[in-house]
Chain A
Amino acid sequence: MQQSVKRVGCLAQFEITRLCLTKSGVLSLLAFATAWLIILYYPVNYAVEWVYSDSLKDIARDIFGAFGISELLNWPVPEIAMYWLIALFLYPIFAIIISSDQTCADRARGTLRFITLRASRTEIIYGRFLGQVLILTGLIALTLIASVIIAVMRDSSLISVAFSLSFFVFFELVIVILPFIALMSFFNSFSNSSRKSIIYVGLFYGLLPMIFALLESYVGQLSYLYYIFPGIQLSNIINPTDIELSFHLLPLIQMLVLLVLSQFLMKRTSI
């Protein structure tokens, strides 16, 4: 058991190295950093103007109200509110892209054959998953710290409230991305390229709802089927006051189910 945990840790550590030491990993990080630089510089930095300026305040209230997220305007640190709004929808996409190659390139190259002589397939699934979770958690933390710095630079008295809000946002975002990473572990358990894995995600979110809708037209309401989609709860948690325990449990259950399925498939797939 101890050895097994050690191997999972070793595999996770290698994932982090893969992101930081390879050209493709560094390029992904650069693309990510550029995107966040733009987000932090424009929407997050100017969030305060939206909220406090007399001319924009009403527009913001109208827009946010129309989407049912006017609660966010009451946050004491508008920068974090804006960050939350953007990150909640962007991080799942980042999670899908960044974790799209967990085992598939190694399978195509045959490197997985070297690894399976030293680690079980279950350990490989969980090690790679853990590595991706650590990477994305780190990225969330970094971007969140940058948002806090922007807020504190404007008004240093916000430091404690900005940090406490950040902890909340960090916790919620990590829970949100877990099933997305697990979804990529699942597609990686039988795909042999990251591009294919992303295509599978497109089909998963594009085709399945259509099939479910078709089924519903024959057999009536089947709303519980939609719980298989990671992120189904996102629109319900934008307003933090609306967050219920079930919105935390759902992504965790999705993650567990996807990981067990990945493990099951990985054990039966030829490598």
Chain B
Amino acid sequence: MSILLQAKNISKSFGNKQALKNVSFEISKGAPVALVGPNGAGKTTLFSILCGYLAPSSGQVELFSRAPNHSSNLSRLGALPQDAQLDPRFAINHQLKFYAQLQGLSRKNAQIEAERVLELVQLSDVLNEKPLSLSHGMRKRVAIAQALIGSPELILLDEATAGLDPLHAREVRSLVANLADETTFILSSHDLNELERLCEQVLFLENGVLQQHQTSNTENSTHCYTLRMAHEQPNIGGALQSISADIKVTKISNKEYVITAPASGLNLSIDVEVLKLCHQNNWHYKQLINGKTLEDKLFS
């Protein structure tokens, strides 16, 4: 699989504060990648370094095997920087067309491309509006549209759904899912459910240190299921354990359990047995998740 992005021992300091400490990872072409971490963890700094807006204090970033600012990388990377705004003095169409023309499109094709990307974020009707006449959420979606111009190979979205209403956040998620076959996305968000649905690879930053770098394939020796109940059931722990002596049931909360089973050698389909158990006892379950939730992976 081709490597799109490689970060080698990146550190970044602002005065005495070290925002990133020896961060190393690589991202290959494929499913979306999540960048997770608490506020002040260094996510935006990392994004800025990956996009070439900031230079690292030490370490090296290679984007498509070159430095991020290398001219051969122009237009291959799309980005939604967290606080960047479009020029309030020009109509959205004018600005998107300008960006498309900078990417080498003719005036006519730039117009078509501007309309296409606005259509993708369901904002075709604001083509001739100026950014200040739009709501915060709409401006965010226009900025996402800007990142999609020219279908770049890699798109970095920093807090893409922050500030969007649930309907439009869902539309952005489905947009990312639909485009994921042709474009690799790196998404930063505080919404772990969102990232869980979209991403297979997770970069977890905390205090500037990359704590975990995992993919969905990391759980090899055991297999996990997460059961979320609609209501609290007093005897469910014991009942789940009764499915097999080889499984381990962990209570995460009053309504959530993680069932860990050996990946091989068990003649039972644990998920089927769990569903049977719920059905027999007339227990209402909310979700049965194949694996641990991202939240459990990162914080338990």
Please give the residue numbers on chain A whose beta carbons come within 8 Å of chain B beta carbons, in ascending order.
3-4, 6-7, 10-11, 14, 17-18, 21-24, 106, 109-111, 113-121, 267-268, 270-271
Bound: A171/B212 CA distance, A: 64
Min CB distance A192 to B, Å, is 14
Task: Check A114/B53 contact, CB under 8 A, given A11-B102, A119-B102, A121-B69.
Answer: no
- Complex interface: chain A residues within 8 A of B103 (CB): 118
In contact, A24 and B89 (Cβ under 8 angstroms): yes
A214 to B269, CA, bound (A): 88
**Which chain B positions have C-beta within 8 A of A24?**
89
How far does the Cβ of A22 sit from chain B's closest Cβ, in whole Å? Answer: 4
If A109-B84, A110-B81, A114-B86 touch, does A14 touch B98 (CB 8 Å cutoff)?
yes
In chain B, positions 59-83 with a C-beta closer than 8 Å to chain A are 69, 71, 74-75, 77-79, 81, 83
Is the C-beta of B266 less than 8 angstroms from some C-beta in chain A?
no
Chain A interface mostly: helix
The answer to whether the Cβ of B257 comes within 8 Å of any Cβ in the partner chain is: no
Instruction: Give Cα A167 to B75, complex, Å.
Output: 42
Q: Residue of A at shortest CB range from B53?
A: A271
Known pairs A116-B53, A118-B103, A270-B54; A110 contacts B74 (CB<8 A): no
Seed contacts A115-B99, A116-B53, A270-B48; 5 additional CB < 8 Å A-B pairs: A21-B94, A22-B90, A110-B83, A110-B85, A113-B51
Q: Does B262 contact A (CB under 8 A)?
A: no
Flag whether B146 is at the interface (Cβ < 8 A): yes
A247 CA / B104 CA spacing, docked (Å): 40
B71 contacts which of A4, A109, A114, A268 (Cβ < 8 Å)? A4
A117, B79: Cβ atoms under 8 Å? yes
List B contacts of A267 (CB < 8 A): 69
Within the assembled complex, what's the spacing in Å between the Cα atoms of A119 and B101?
11
Closest A residue to B152 by beta carbon equals A117
* Contact of B78 with A117 in the complex, beta carbons under 8 Å: yes
Given the known interface contacts A10-B102, A23-B89, A120-B69, the answer about A114 and B55 at a Cβ–Cβ threshold of 8 Å is no
Within the assembled complex, what's the spacing in Å between the Cα atoms of A268 and B53?
A: 10
Q: How far is the CA of A65 from the CA of B68 in the complex (A)?
A: 60
B53 touches A113 (CB 8 A): yes
Q: Is the CB of B89 within 8 A of A118?
A: no
Residue of B with least CB distance to A111: B87
Give Cα distance in the complex from A271 to B79, angstroms.
14
- Most chain A CB neighbours (cut-off 10 Å) among B75, B84, B102, B103: B102
Residue from A120, A267, A268 with most neighbouring chain B CB atoms (10 Å): A120
The answer to whether A6 and B84 have CB atoms under 8 Å apart is no
How many angstroms between the C-alpha atoms of A113 and B80 in the bound complex? 9
Given A10-B102, A21-B90, A113-B79, CB of A120 within 8 Å of CB of B54? no
| A113-B84 contact, Cβ under 8 Å, with A21-B90, A118-B75, A119-B74 | yes
30 residue pairs of the A-B complex, CB under 8 angstroms, read A3-B104, A4-B71, A7-B102, A10-B98, A10-B102, A17-B94, A18-B89, A21-B90, A22-B90, A23-B89, A106-B87, A110-B83, A110-B85, A113-B53, A113-B81, A114-B84, A115-B102, A116-B51, A116-B53, A116-B69, A117-B51, A117-B78, A118-B75, A118-B102, A118-B103, A119-B74, A119-B102, A120-B71, A120-B74, A268-B55
Q: Are B102 and A110 in touch, CB under 8 angstroms?
A: no
Chain A residues whose CB sits within 8 angstroms of the CB of B84 once the complex forms: 109-111, 113-114
Measured CB to CB, the closest approach of chain B to A245, in angstroms, equals: 36
Bound Cα distance from A111 to B88, whole angstroms: 10
CA distance A6 to B69 in the complex (A): 18
Asked if B237 lies at the interface with its beta carbon under 8 angstroms from chain A, I say no
- A191 CB to nearest B CB, Å: 17
Contact assessment for A270 and B87 in the assembled complex, using a CB-CB cutoff below 8 Å:
no
Instruction: Kindly list chain A residues whose C-beta atoms are within 8 Å of the C-beta of B78.
Output: 117
A56 to B88, CA, bound (A): 53
Which residues does chain A contribute within 8 Å of B74, judged by CB atoms? 117-120
Shortest C-beta distance, A205 to chain B (Å), equals 30
Q: How far, in whole Å, are A21 and B55 apart by their CA atoms in the complex?
A: 35
Cα(A60)–Cα(B102), bound, Å: 54
**B residues within 8 A CB of A113?**
51, 53, 79, 81, 84
Q: What's the nearest-Cβ distance from chain A to residue B257, in Å?
A: 45
5 closest A-B pairs (Cβ-Cβ)? Answer: A110-B84, A118-B102, A22-B89, A113-B84, A113-B81
On whether A118 and B81 interact (CB within 8 A), knowing A22-B89, A22-B90, A106-B87, the answer reads no
Q: Is B52 close to A, CB under 8 A?
A: yes
Interface 1/0s, chain B 98-110, versus A by CB < 8 A?
1101111000000
Report the bound CA distance from A34 to B78 in whole Å. Answer: 44
With beta carbons under 8 angstroms apart, the residue of A6, A117, A268 that contacts B104 is A6
User: Quick one: which of A17, A113, A117, A120 has the most chain B CB within 10 A?
Assistant: A117
**Smallest beta-carbon distance B146→chain A, Å:** 6
Q: Which residue of A lies closest to B156 (CB)?
A: A117
Residues of B29-62 at the interface with A, using a CB-CB cut-off of 8 Å, are 48, 51-55
Q: How far is the CA of A3 from the CA of B75 in the complex (A)?
A: 12
Instruction: Give chain A residues whose Cβ lies under 8 Å from the Cβ of B90.
Output: 21-22
Question: Across the interface, do A111 and B79 meet the contact criterion of CB distance under 8 Å?
Answer: no
Nearest A residue (CB) for B83: A110
- Bound-state Cα–Cα, A7 to B103, Å: 8
